[in-house]
């Protein structure tokens, strides 16, 4: 035998009732079907009762709506509805008469309310039993309770005996109204919240059935709220303990006390979806073997929470403080959801429903008035706008490091925890966060504990010129491979160019980003872009800077301080004043995020990453010698008797090798920045003024506008050509070289002979030579493309992927 329970949504319409019939008729055993009221009917009854108690005639409008709803369902279900309408007529008349009585006395007692509340189930069960053509068994005839109206207590000894007697000769299908019962005086009572589930569990336990199926409008227990986490999925199996823990902390699939009768009997509970009967649902059993790879089963949360903290040195070692605290709250019927107490005993924090906060504070101040007056208790504080989050899993007690991983992950994403609680059973860990951090917390934890198959990065990109557009194209090309092979989902959630910006929490279509930007009504402002990114408060956020803007670079500290990683092709921040560079590195470390700028030197070459590995492994950098400007190397490799200096510079600009203003490259400023970065990453404190620049172009060429520069540049062509011929005759080449040794830094144009590694550098290639304590006799050389939008974008791309490995 089975017991099946169908909720209000499951029987909310004629179409759904027909689906219920299909489900019931497909059973291969005797079935007891417990039904709730038609969806929304109970709320209408409550509204009507409240209006009636106020003496308002508007209750009649609600009654009319209730009548029409039932008549509509009957009309849709039956070819000849008149007979069923006659049967439900007396029940509707009873409902109207009770309401009229409430109006006359202007009073709505709990006893009357219980009689009214049960009318929805009595009506729905009658209609469904007639449609199914099966027996109707009235739960109020065999479930006996006390007279605590609103949440009556069941007399199980007598109820179980009456259930067994009622179903002794039963075979086939029986319909039972949920929620309703009677006391010894024959007066209607109700079973409180989750009453229909409770009815089903009571019957299932009394009859020792094979299973209890609770049919609702969801597929079962989810790993998290799917409205918040799109990647949440149905949990196939839970233990009773796990199911009750998840329900206690916000999972609204079942109400924990209602399954207590079947829990005691060890009867499995199956949660199924009426609208998707083919879905597997969630099976709840006595104990579940939970693999070590899944130490937690799910995450639940409760919003609109207040945290009340009582603190004082006078609480330490004093017996009865906790008892008095909870007694004072119990007198006000305030439910305590979470308790967190310092081991020193001088602080107790309790989480309660927000609407109870004022009453709770008043009750505690009254109870401890003497201690407050004498400063034994110096703080009674209420903090509102909070949420409780809980992770649940029986296997947590067998897995070390869960709490450490949990709070490290939360902290790294900038989420502040107000209170923590964990029971000795280790079935759950609960903590309190701000409401605005709830979505972020749920996503971070869901992903961190591998409840999500993929790691997701939320990318905010500013700058979609050559490098930025190449980056987007590379992300688009590699997206499927990264998702399938690396389980990494790169989601572009914000993009800005110099004119417009656009944001989308669900991800921006990369193929259409240009149209989205042009159609956007949001004008591009750096501070507003960053403010919007921070206010979106998304987990695993990465700010990507593909510009050369000093204004944007000055915002890095603000971004890192908001627990957002920074990946940048912009050299300005890492080559700014040493104090600012050090602050950025320190902030990133403190916040547990990344500040990555591999492409600041050598575009996509692994120059900085290799240097970091050397230093972090204990090696010491003794000397750096490098050709770091792909632009200058391209220019000097391109010079010939047919290509003058001015044309070579223009070609470098058109090819995307140079900075937007080529004078930055020609002045040596760009190389100085790169050398500063390498020296600093080697562990040396150095600033721009410490670098000697040997310029090869007269200073006045750098004055004025870029147009002025381009106009004057051909003046240098003849001088460079004559010097080039002379150099070529000696079998030498020009290379703009950066060097650092023993604190001395210098950049300048050198004449390089054929025996030097720099001589054979082609095109825009870079070459870096590291001489270290380990690599002294035979220095380390790194060589390759050092400029170009595509390779620079590839380097930025690589840094973005590194962020996912935090």
- From 163, 262, 251, select the one nearest 212 (Cα to Cα): 262
Confidence at 288, pLDDT banded by 50, 70, 90: low
pLDDT of residue 250: 72
Residue 424: band (very low, low, confident or very high) from pLDDT cuts 50, 70, 90: low
Question: Alpha helix locations (H) across 110-227?
Answer: 110-117, 119-132, 156-166, 195-207
Q: What is the pLDDT of residue 451?
A: 58
CB 739, CB 625: distance < 8 Å: yes
Q: Which of 137, 491, 674, 733 is catalytic?
A: 674
Sheet of strand 691-694: strand arrangement: 691-694, 744-752, 733-741, 621-627, 765-772, 780-785
Is the separation of the CB atoms in 177 and 6 below 8 Å? no
Residue 251's nearest CA partner among 280, 285, 228 is: 228
pLDDT for res 764: 81
Nearest partner of 498 among 465, 544, 453, 539, judged by Cα: 465
- Compute the distance between CA of residue 789 and CA of residue 794 in angstroms, rounded to an integer: 9
674 belongs to the catalytic site: yes
> Picking from 94-98, 419-423, 511-515, which range would have the lowest pLDDT averaged per residue?
419-423
Nearest to 394 by CA among 302, 301, 286, 300: 286
Rounded distance between C-alpha atoms, residue 99 and residue 95, angstroms: 6
- Sign of the CA dihedral with 354 first, then 358, 361, and 366 last: negative
Calpha distance 677→684 (Å, rounded)? 10
| Closest listed residue to residue 140, CA positions, set 165, 160, 124, 122 | 122
**Is the predicted pLDDT of residue 404 greater than 60, yes or no?**
yes
**pLDDT at position 584, please?**
98
pLDDT band at 452 (very low <50, low <70, confident <90, very high): low
Copy the structure tokens of residue 187: 């007066």
Instruction: Please say whether the dihedral angle defined by the alpha carbons of residues 41, 44, 50 and 56, taken in this order, is positive or negative.
Output: negative
Tell me how many helices (H) and strands (E) the chain has: 29, 28
Decide if pLDDT at 685 tops 70.
Answer: yes
Q: What is the pLDDT of residue 259?
A: 82
Task: Please list, in sequence order, all residues whose beta carbon lies within 8 angstroms of the beta carbon of residue 479, skipping any fewer than 6 positions away.
Answer: 489, 490
Nearest to 190 by CA among 121, 132, 261: 121
Q: What is the 3-state secondary structure (H, E, C) of 458-519?
A: EEEEECCCHHHHHHHHHHHHHHHHHHHHCCEEEEEEEEECCCEEEECCCCCCHHHHHHHHHH
On whether the CB atoms of residues 463 and 547 are closer than 8 A, the answer is: yes
Strand partners, 273: 216
In the sheet that 211-216 helps form, which strands lie side by side, from edge to edge?
Answer: 135-136, 173-177, 31-35, 2-6, 211-216, 269-273, 282-285, 237-239
Please state the pTM of the whole predicted model. Answer: 0.72
Report the share of the chain in percent with pLDDT over 90: 75
**Whole-Å CA distances, 587 to 411, 559, 565, 567:** 14, 10, 10, 14
Q: Is 390 helix (H, G, I), strand (E, B) or coil?
A: strand
With 90 as the cut, is the pLDDT of residue 212 above it?
yes
Q: Which residue has the higher pLDDT, 292 or 333?
A: 333
Tell me the three state secondary structure of residue 189: strand
- Give the other-Cβ count within 10 Å of 361's Cβ: 17
Alpha carbons 44 and 1: distance in angstroms, whole number:
35
Three-state DSSP at 10 gives coil
> For 772-804, how does the pLDDT look when each residue is reduced to its tens digit (9 = 90+)?
999 999 999 999 988 788 999 999 999 999 998
């Amino acid at each position: 035998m089975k017991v099946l329970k169908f909720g209000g949504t499951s029987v909310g319409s004629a179409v759904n009732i027909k689906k219920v019939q299909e489900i019931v008729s497909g059973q291969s055993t005797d079935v007891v079907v417990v039904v709730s009221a038609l969806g929304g009917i109970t709320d209408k009854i409550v509204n009507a009762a409240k209006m009636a108690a106020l003496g308002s005639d508007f209750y009649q409008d609600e009654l009319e709506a209730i009548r029409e709803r039932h008549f509509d369902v009957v009309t849709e279900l039956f070819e000849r509805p008149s007979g069923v309408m006659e049967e439900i007529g007396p029940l509707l008349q009873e409902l109207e008469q009770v309401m009229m009585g409430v109006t006359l006395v202007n009073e709505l007692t709990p006893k009357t309310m219980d009689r009214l509340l049960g009318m929805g189930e009595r009506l729905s069960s009658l209609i469904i039993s007639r449609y199914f053509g099966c027996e109707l068994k009235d739960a109020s005839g065999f479930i006996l309770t006390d007279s605590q109206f609103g949440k009556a207590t069941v007399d199980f000894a007598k109820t179980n005996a009456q259930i067994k007697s009622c179903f002794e000769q039963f075979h086939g299908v029986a319909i039972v109204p949920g929620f309703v019962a009677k006391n010894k005086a024959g007066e209607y009572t109700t079973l409180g919240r989750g009453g229909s589930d409770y009815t089903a569990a009571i019957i299932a336990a009394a009859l020792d059935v094979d299973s209890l199926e609770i049919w609702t409008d969801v597929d079962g227990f989810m790993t998290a709220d799917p409205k918040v986490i799109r990647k949440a999925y149905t949990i196939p199996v839970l233990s009773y303990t796990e199911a009750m823990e998840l329900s206690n902390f916000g999972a609204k699939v079942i109400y924990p006390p209602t399954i207590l009768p079947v829990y005691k009997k060890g009867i499995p509970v199956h949660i199924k979806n009426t609208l998707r009967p083919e879905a597997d649902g969630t099976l709840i059993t006595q104990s579940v073997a939970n693999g070590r790879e899944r130490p937690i089963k799910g995450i639940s949360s409760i919003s609109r929470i207040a945290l009340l903290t009582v603190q004082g040195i006078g609480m330490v070692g004093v017996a009865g403080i906790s008892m008095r605290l909870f007694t004072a709250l119990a007198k006000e019927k305030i439910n305590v959801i979470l308790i967190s107490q310092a081991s020193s005993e001088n602080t107790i924090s309790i989480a309660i429903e927000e609407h109870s906060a004022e009453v709770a504070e008043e009750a505690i101040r009254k109870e401890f008035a003497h201690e407050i007056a004498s400063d034994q208790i110096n703080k009674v504080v209420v903090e509102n706008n909070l949420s409780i989050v809980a992770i649940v899993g029986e296997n947590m007690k067998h897995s070390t490091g869960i709490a450490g991983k949990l709070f490290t992950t939360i902290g790294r994403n900038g989420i502040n925890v107000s209170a923590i609680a964990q029971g000795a059973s280790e079935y759950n860990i609960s903590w309190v966060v701000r409401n605005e951090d709830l979505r972020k917390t749920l996503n971070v934890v869901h992903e961190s504990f591998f409840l999500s198959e993929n790691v997701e990065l939320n990318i905010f990109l500013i700058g979609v010129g050559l490098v930025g557009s190449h980056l987007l194209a590379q992300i688009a090309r590699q997206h499927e491979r990264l998702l399938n092979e690396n389980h990494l989902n790169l989601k572009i959630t914000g993009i800005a160019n110099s004119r417009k910006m656009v944001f989308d929490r669900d991800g921006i279509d990369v193929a259409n980003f240009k149209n989205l930007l042009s159609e956007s009504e949001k004008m591009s402002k750096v501070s507003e872009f960053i403010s919007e990114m921070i206010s979106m408060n998304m987990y695993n956020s990465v700010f990507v800077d593909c510009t050369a803007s000093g204004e944007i670079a000055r915002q890095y500290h603000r971004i890192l301080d908001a627990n957002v990683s920074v990946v940048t092709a912009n050299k300005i921040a890492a080559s700014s004043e040493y104090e600012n560079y050090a602050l950025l590195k320190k902030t990133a470390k403190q916040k547990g995020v990344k500040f990555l700028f591999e492409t600041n030197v050598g575009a996509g070459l692994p120059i900085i990453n290799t240097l970091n590995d050397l230093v972090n492994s204990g090696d010491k950098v003794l000397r750096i010698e490098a050709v770091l400007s792909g632009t200058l190397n391209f220019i000097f490799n391109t010079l010939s008797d047919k290509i003058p200096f001015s044309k070579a510079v223009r070609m470098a600009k058109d090819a995307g090798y140079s900075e937007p203003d080529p004078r930055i490259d020609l002045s040596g400023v760009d190389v100085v920045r790169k050398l500063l970065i390498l020296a600093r990453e080697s562990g040396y404190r150095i600033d721009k003024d410490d670098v000697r620049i040997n310029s090869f172009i007269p200073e006045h060429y750098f004055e004025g506008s870029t147009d002025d520069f381009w106009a004057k540049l051909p003046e240098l062509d003849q001088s460079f050509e004559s010097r080039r011929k002379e150099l070529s005759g000696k079998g030498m080449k020009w290379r703009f070289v950066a060097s650092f040794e023993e604190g001395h830094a210098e950049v300048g144009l050198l004449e390089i002979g054929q025996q030097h590694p720099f001589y054979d550098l082609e095109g825009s290639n870079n070459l870096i030579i590291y001489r270290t304590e380990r690599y002294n006799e035979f220095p380390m050389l790194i060589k390759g493309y050092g400029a170009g939008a595509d390779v620079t974008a590839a380097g930025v791309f690589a840094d973005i992927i590194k962020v996912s490995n935090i």
